[in-house]
Amino acid sequence: MTPSLDGQGNVVGYHSNRRKPNADQIATIKPLYAQLSAEERRHGGAKDGLAASSGMLNSILKDKGLSYDEFIFAV
């Protein structure tokens, strides 16, 4: 999601650009998604599970030396 701004920099709306991922992108993300989903289930509850999977993702990205944006753009 990206905010749409008026001339004074005020948010006046949002827009989203979407595209269909290719098979290589899905193959890269699928095991990571499974790992993060398992971590969420292991911790139960929406809040605790999300915190645990977010922490896991941040740790994985730190080990790879990548920011979230760098990882997403590299996929």
Secondary structure of 6-45 in the HEC alphabet?
CCCCCEEEEECCCCCCCHHHHHHHHHHHHHHHHHHHHHCC
Q: What is the mean pLDDT of each run of 10 residues along the chain (75 residues)?
A: 92 90 94 96 87 96 96 91
Q: What pLDDT is recorded for position 18?
A: 84
Nearest 5°: the CA angle 4, 5, 10 is 130
Q: What pLDDT is recorded for position 47?
A: 86
Q: How far is CA 3 from CA 29, 33, 68, in A?
A: 26, 27, 19
> Is 57 exposed, middle or buried, given 0-12, 13-18 or 19+ CB atoms closer than 10 A?
middle
pTM above 0.75, yes or no: no
